[in-house]
Amino acid sequence: MRERVRRLIESRRFQQAITVVIIVNAATLGVETSAEAVARYGTALHLADHVALYIFVVELLAKMYVYRWRFFRDSWNVFDLLIVGISFLPTAGGLSVLRALRVLRALRLISVVPSLRRVVSALLTAIPGMTSIVVLLGLVLYVAAVMGTKLYGAAAPQYFGDLPTTLYTLFQVMTGDGWSEINRELMVSHPSSWIYFVVFVLICTFVVLNLFIAVVVSAMEEEARADSSTLAELTALREEIRGLRESLGERVPSA
């Protein structure tokens, strides 16, 4: 019985069916944000949401039945368990805001689709390499914020009045959001302020942030190489098993 259930939950059709349920459930949760749609189809939407939740619960129970304690050794299984478990949190009274967390079930698509799993695994692998880059970025922001506060605090207090305000302004500049307007307004009293902004944008946007991309891409390449090596090992193992079967078939005399 356990072997039959294992073959079922590991089959491609079952995984495709779960993927469809996740997508439909995410779509229904999005439709529920429309008051008009809820007024017309509220019952059907709630029914679809509960059916999807029960399907997820049955899937997790089936995996627990098949894998037993090994279920909790797989981080993706624990991730699915937490995401589905959030749906059972109390939503009455002051905890009604927790109903919005139901949309987290859409994140289960990450654990179902292998390509998404590889991307997330690569991002998690890249975190240690990002630590030094984050420290570097924080150091650049702090130095630039102190300089900006001292240089332009009196001329533009709404942007550089104190250190927290300057840090927020520089974070906005780092994202490329309206930094030219801030610079043009400041250039009225400080014509050379463009040097400060151009140097900061070049360092943060085109150097430090590109380092993040480089680290992530490197991690994704390592993940792809690991997957390809695993696939090569499985292919070689299948060839060995096929060769053993053929050699055994030749040794066993026919009746």
* Ranges of each domain in the chain: 2-112, 117-251
Contact 215, 132 (CB under 8 A): no
Q: What's 2-112's CATH class?
A: mainly alpha
- Tell me which architecture the domain covering 117-251 has in CATH: Orthogonal Bundle (1.10)
Q: Please, what is the Cα angle at 138 between 142 and 179, to 5 degrees?
A: 70
Dist CA 211 CA 196 (whole Å) = 22
Dist CA 244 CA 68 (whole Å) = 32
Q: 205: which DSSP letter?
A: I
Residue 115 pLDDT: 74
Place of tokens 């900006």: 148
Residue 146 pLDDT: 92
**Cα(first)–Cα(last) distance of the chain, in Å?**
34
Residue 113 pLDDT: 76
Dist CA 60 CA 74 (whole Å) = 12
Q: Is 117-251 in the same CATH topology as 2-112?
A: no
Three-class secondary structure of residue 207 per DSSP: helix
CA nearest neighbour of 183 among 195, 166, 165 = 195
Three-class secondary structure of residue 98 per DSSP: helix
Q: Please, what is the Cα angle at 138 between 141 and 130, to 5 degrees?
A: 135
Q: Note if the pTM is more than 0.85.
A: no
Token output for 245: 């079967």
Alpha helices, DSSP H, located in the chain? 2-9, 12-31, 35-67, 75-86, 108-112, 114-152, 157-160, 163-174, 179-187, 193-203, 209-251
Dist CA 177 CA 168 (whole Å) = 12
Q: Which residues of the chain register pLDDT less than 70? A: 90-101, 219, 222-234, 236-238, 242-255
Each residue of 200-232: pLDDT tens digit?
A: 888 887 777 777 777 777 767 766 666 665 556
Token output for 33: 């944000």
Token output for 64: 């627990």
Dist CA 191 CA 102 (whole Å) = 52
Query: Which amino acid does the sequence have at 29?
Result: L
Residue 83, Cβ density class (10 Å: 0-12 exposed, 13-18 middle, ≥19 buried): buried
